[in-house]
């Protein structure tokens, strides 16, 4: 079953409308209350007055909660889920939550709450955060405890964390380089806009606990653990269920809906449903962090890279964001693609008065790759080499070391580059058939780390009739992971997909799993499924061996049969091993007809190794995924508009379990990446709020903005991962990273202008063309 395309196990429910999502549960429980929030319109303001009297008197209002609610451990709530407590830190932060009999009453009541604000200086962009003596986002003068190697460069009030790396002698290497390029790059803020809004339904139970239905990630490690900590509840009294979910792209990795809904449910003693509006998905849900980079590369005359110096700053919004927000995660995408014997990094994270950031597809990799690949293109031009040639020459070989000193055990980047280059014909000039619309081609590649060490578990229950129940808590945010897990179970157990039912993400039924973040779902949980199925097989072999009087070494399980070596008969149906209950026997040993064989699998991808004073580590990350993109675009010289005419995307998925699912990820990444680098842009109003917080004003790519049909090609270029299930690994994030720099390279070929930032909107491209042609 591995490497075959089977119908998705969730396809029937979804196409027939039988799939139940969190939003379908609104009316399931009697006496449900509906929750709405009043949010600050100011990017930074002191709350000097708050009057909830009129709102609380509105008929149908059950409860209003503000930051002054007693006995609440606000410090344990994620920053994005905390109401303002004396000071609003971004436009969109909750001032108060209202629970009422209907959502209309709740929203009306929220509008009746009277708030007095004293506006404070605010910082909206990384540029403003880096100026001398900037306004402070959090406490004035509260700079981060930075590593010594970073502090000298980023000792500013709004710096929240930093990371540095040193290997080799960078300065000496630049002195020996035949060619050196140095450029600055930056990217625009992006909002995750999946079609399914964030939602949670919290139901108080008779024993003082909670039952929570939600579309967030990590029912065990993220959500239940958080709720237990917030409300001092034992784990046995908190049940979290994840129904069908739509896309997430990392947005649900922060548990920002469940805490407020659960708090209101516990305070009112009634079920509470909380769903963000489309506008709130811009202002109250985690956004992507972005990067500004200054990069310098040096190479020998033959194009061999010898030195890299990277300065990178992440813009992370109005929250310190935790230990991983220090630039290390974003910059990792520049560390594991090309061989650099001498490398230096200085990175940091910057606070702004904007919505706190969280995970988004790529975790900074698309932003850092835009800088690295842009610099590589300039170095190729300086040396007279083709963009493809210089990349192939410098890729880390399998078994080679990256900047951290890690050994790279799987890297399919070279084949990815060759496939997309061939498809687009990047070494052949575009045919120019219009004096206004000029064409150009570009190519780029990218790497993305797989995240941190984490545990996944699986249970496989084998019944007498040969059917199997697979229990996992792997998030399935639309990407098809459950289908791949079923295929793994089919391969191990020798049964057809129709024999397997999969139960997903219910803490009362399914075993522990950390979260599917960072493309680790099939890798980690797939390994756990393999182990659980092997446990089933071992138990069946043992039972069959006892039945036949053989040693288990002489028994083979083949689908629904036990096969015996050197015995007569030489086989038997497995169903005969399951004894029926009888009042005339007191059997407690052996397999029972009404009790399945329960196999358990536990897999942990660690351990990682802490980095030393030089920032290096022999195991900084678990593994890396790789991708390449090539495009042909047309640019309107009179308007600056970019059209992507053809696109090819290739990804190294290790050994793909379900190729069609991988291809769908590759196809979707083309359109998402076009949005990143051409369309999506945030506009702020005078108070620092998001002025285009709607799908009508926030420019996501539409059907006419993207190539279609045969003009989009996807290629899987596997390089099996040694510890992946059947060699599989994730690849859904790296494939959005290479498209941006490929488009920028094609733009340069088409009209001769280099863009060092995105989105590359028509206005910006036109200004660059006019500056070039005007000699400005």
Cα 45 to chain centroid, rounded: 32
pTM of the model: 0.94
Q: pLDDT tens across 429-474, in order?
A: 999 999 999 999 999 999 999 877 689 999 999 999 999 999 999 9
Cα 354 to chain centroid, rounded: 20
What pLDDT shows up at residue 321? 66
- d(CA 67, CA 78) in angstroms, rounded, equals 14
At which of 604, 634, 649 does a domain end?
Answer: 604
> How many degrees, rounded to 5, is the angle at CA 600 between CA 594 and CA 603?
165
Is 3 within a domain? no
Tell me the CATH number at 406: 3.30.365.10
Do residues 441 and 460 share a domain?
no
Is 674 within 8 Å of 646 (Cβ atoms)?
A: no
What pLDDT shows up at residue 110? 98
* 335: its two tokens: 């560390």
Do residues 625 and 757 share a domain?
yes
- d(CA 267, CA 65) in angstroms, rounded, equals 9
Do residues 447 and 461 share a domain?
no
Cα 153 to chain centroid, rounded: 30
Do residues 320 and 375 share a domain?
yes
416: how many CB neighbours lie within 10 A of its CB? 31
Residue in the structure block whose two tokens are 């939550």:
97
Closest CA to 444 of 634, 673, 665, 672: 673
* 650: its two tokens: 């290739």
List of E strands, 281-417: 287-288, 290-299, 305-315, 343-350, 357-358
- d(CA 649, CA 652) in angstroms, rounded, equals 10
What pLDDT shows up at residue 246? 83
**Positions in the chain short of pLDDT 70:** 139-146, 148-149, 151-152, 321-324, 453, 775-776
Do residues 363 and 495 share a domain?
no
* Cis, peptide link before residue 569, omega less than 30° from 0: yes
Tell me the CATH number at 50: 3.90.1170.50
Do residues 523 and 421 share a domain?
no
Do residues 446 and 459 share a domain?
no
Do residues 633 and 747 share a domain?
yes
Report the domain count for the chain: 3
Is 529 within 8 Å of 470 (Cβ atoms)?
A: yes
Do residues 667 and 634 share a domain?
yes
Residue in the structure block whose two tokens are 């061939």:
422
Do residues 621 and 715 share a domain?
yes
- d(CA 44, CA 731) in angstroms, rounded, equals 39
Is 138 within a domain? no
- d(CA 152, CA 138) in angstroms, rounded, equals 21
Pairing of strands 357-358, 287-288: parallel
Q: Which helix (H) or strand (E) holds 651?
A: strand 642-652
183: how many CB neighbours lie within 10 A of its CB? 17
Closest CA to 423 of 704, 667, 632, 661: 632
At which of 120, 135, 162 does a domain end?
Answer: 120
Burial of 469 (0-12, 13-18, 19+ CB in 10 A): middle
Per-residue CA distances from 578 to 538, 554, 569, 596 (Å): 15, 20, 18, 9
Cα 241 to chain centroid, rounded: 21
What pLDDT shows up at residue 138? 72
Burial of 97 (0-12, 13-18, 19+ CB in 10 A): buried
Contacts of 635 (CB under 8 A, 6+ apart): 437, 438, 439, 440, 641, 642, 643, 747, 750, 751, 765
Is 606 within 8 Å of 471 (Cβ atoms)?
A: no
In the sheet with 343-350, reading across from the earlier edge strand, the strands are: 159-167, 343-350, 305-315, 290-299, 179-187, 757-758
Is 194 within a domain? no
Q: What DSSP character marks residue 401?
A: B
> How many degrees, rounded to 5, is the angle at CA 259 between CA 256 and CA 261?
105
- d(CA 177, CA 298) in angstroms, rounded, equals 5
What pLDDT shows up at residue 31? 97
Domain hosting 460: range is 455-604
Total count of residues recorded for the chain: 776
Is 564 within a domain? yes
Do residues 396 and 299 share a domain?
yes
Do residues 665 and 695 share a domain?
yes
Mark out the alpha helices in 409-462 (DSSP H runs): 413-424
- d(CA 615, CA 196) in angstroms, rounded, equals 40
- Show the 3-state SS of 706-755: CCCHHHEEEEECCCCCCCCHHHECCCCCHHHCCHHHHHHHHHHHHHCCCC
Is 626 within 8 Å of 412 (Cβ atoms)?
A: yes
At which of 88, 105, 120 does a domain end?
Answer: 120
Q: What are phi and psi for residue 688, nearest 5 degrees?
A: 95, 10
Contacts of 550 (CB under 8 A, 6+ apart): 544, 564, 565, 566, 567
SS3 assignment, position 356? coil
Cα 90 to chain centroid, rounded: 23
Q: What DSSP character marks residue 77?
A: S
Is 370 within a domain? yes
Is 165 within a domain? no
* HSE of 758, CA atoms in CB hemisphere, 13 A: 29
What pLDDT shows up at residue 141? 47
Quote the percentage of the chain above a pLDDT of 90.
Answer: 78
Is 240 within a domain? no
Is 167 within a domain? no
């Amino acid at each position: 079953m591995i490497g075959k395309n089977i119908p998705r196990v969730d396809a029937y429910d979804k196409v027939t409308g039988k799939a139940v999502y969190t939003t379908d549960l609104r009316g399931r429980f009697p006496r449900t209350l509906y929750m709405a929030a009043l949010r600050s319109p100011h990017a930074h303001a002191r709350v000097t007055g708050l009057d909830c009297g009129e709102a609380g008197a509105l008929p149908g209002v059950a409860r209003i909660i503000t930051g002054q609610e007693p006995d609440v451990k606000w410090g344990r709530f994620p920053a994005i889920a905390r109401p303002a407590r004396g000071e609003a830190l971004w436009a969109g932060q909750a001032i108060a939550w209202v629970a009422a009999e209907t959502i209309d009453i709740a929203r009306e009541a929220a509008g009746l709450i009277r708030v007095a604000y004293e506006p404070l200086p605010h910082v909206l962009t990384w540029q403003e955060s880096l100026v001398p003596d900037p306004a402070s986002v959090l406490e004035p003068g509260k700079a981060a405890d930075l590593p010594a190697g970073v502090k000298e460069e980023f000792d500013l009030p709004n710096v929240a964390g930093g990371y540095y790396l040193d290997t080799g002698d960078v300065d000496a290497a630049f002195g020996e380089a035949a060619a050196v390029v140095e450029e600055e790059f930056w990217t625009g803020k992006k909002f995750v806009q999946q079609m399914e809004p964030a939602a949670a339904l919290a139901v108080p139970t008779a024993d003082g606990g909670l039952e929570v239905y939600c579309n967030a990630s990590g029912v065990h490690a993220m959500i239940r653990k958080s709720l237990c900590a917030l409300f001092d509840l034992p784990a046995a009294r908190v049940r979290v269920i994840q129904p069908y979910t739509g896309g997430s792209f990392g947005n649900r990795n922060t548990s920002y809906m469940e805490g407020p809904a659960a708090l209101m449910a516990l305070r009112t003693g009634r079920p509470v449903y909380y769903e963000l509006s489309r506008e709130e998905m811009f202002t109250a849900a985690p956004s992507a962090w972005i990067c500004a980079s200054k990069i310098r590369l040096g190479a020998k005359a033959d194009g061999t890279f010898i030195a890299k110096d990277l300065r990178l700053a992440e813009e992370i919004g109005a929250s310190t964001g935790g230990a991983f927000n220090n630039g290390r995660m974003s910059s990792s995408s520049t560390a594991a693609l090309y061989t650099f014997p001498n490398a230096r990094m200085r990175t940091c994270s910057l606070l702004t008065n904007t919505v706190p950031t969280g995970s988004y597809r790529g975790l900074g990799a698309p932003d850092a790759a835009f800088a690295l690949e842009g610099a590589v293109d300039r170095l190729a031009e300086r040396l007279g080499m083709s963009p493809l040639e210089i990349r192939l020459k410098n890729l880390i070989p399998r078994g080679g070391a990256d900047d951290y000193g890690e050994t790279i055990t799987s890297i399919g980047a070279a084949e990815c580059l060759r496939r997309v280059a061939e498809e687009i014909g990047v070494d052949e000039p575009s045919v120019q058939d219009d004096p206004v619309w000029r064409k150009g081609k570009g190519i780029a590649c990218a790497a993305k780390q797989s995240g941190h060490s984490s545990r996944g578990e699986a249970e496989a229950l084998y019944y007498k009739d040969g059917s199997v129940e697979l229990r996992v808590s792997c998030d399935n945010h639309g990407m098809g992971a459950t289908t791949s897990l079923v295929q793994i179970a089919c391969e191990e157990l020798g049964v057809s997909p129709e024999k397997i039912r999969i139960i997903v993400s219910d803490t009362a039924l399914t075993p522990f799993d950390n979260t599917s973040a960072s493309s680790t779902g099939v890798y980690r949980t797939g390994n756990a499924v393999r182990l659980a199925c092997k446990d089933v097989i071992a138990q069946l072999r043992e039972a069959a061996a006892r039945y036949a009087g053989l040693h288990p070494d002489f028994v083979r399980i083949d689908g629904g049969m036990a096969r015996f070596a050197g015995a007569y008969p030489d086989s038997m149906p497995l169903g005969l091993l399951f004894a029926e209950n009888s009042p005339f026997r007191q059997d407690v040993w052996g397999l029972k007809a009404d009790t399945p064989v329960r196999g358990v699998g536990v897999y942990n991808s660690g351990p990682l190794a802490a980095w030393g004073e030089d920032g290096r580590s022999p195991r900084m990350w678990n593994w890396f995924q790789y991708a390449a993109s090539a495009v042909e675009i047309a640019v309107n010289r009179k308007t600056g508009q970019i059209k992507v005419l053809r696109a090819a995307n290739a990804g190294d998925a290790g050994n793909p379990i379900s190729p069609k699912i991988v291809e769908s990820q590759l196809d979707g990444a083309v359109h998402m990446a076009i949005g990143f680098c051409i369309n999506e842009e945030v506009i702020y109003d005078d108070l620092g709020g998001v002025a285009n917080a709607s799908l009508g004003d926030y420019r996501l790519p539409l059907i006419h903005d993207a190539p279609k049909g045969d003009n989009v090609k996807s290629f899987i270029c596997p390089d099996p991962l040694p510890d992946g299930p059947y060699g599989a690994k994730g690849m859904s994030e790296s494939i959005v990273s290479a498209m941006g720099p490929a488009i920028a390279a094609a733009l340069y070929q088409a009209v001769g202008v280099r863009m060092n930032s995105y989105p590359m909107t028509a206005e910006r491209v036109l200004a660059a063309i006019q500056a070039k042609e005007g000699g400005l």
